[in-house]
Amino acid sequence: MSQANGNALVLAPNISQAKLANLLGMHRISLLRALQTLKEKGVLDELTSERLAIRDPERLKELAMR
């Protein structure tokens, strides 16, 4: 499920941070640090098992392509 909010994108990932970290092959703490960095850069608002709020999807794409 997704919902656009201006340029923001809100998703319902239905996955815990621990499971997401495991799928990505990283420790949960490393995932949390990466998420915090994205929050500080204004890319993400939040990530919980019920809600992923991406404030700037275009910037996230740019960072992912590096």
Q: How many CB atoms lie within 10 A of CB 3?
A: 10
The domains located in the chain, with CATH, are 2-64 (1.10.10.10)
pLDDT at 39: 94
Q: Are 11 and 52 in contact (CB under 8 A)?
A: yes
pLDDT tens digit sequence for 12-50: 989 998 999 999 999 999 999 999 999 999 999 988 889
Residues recorded for the chain: 66
Residue 41 in tokens: 């850069």
pTM beyond 0.75: yes
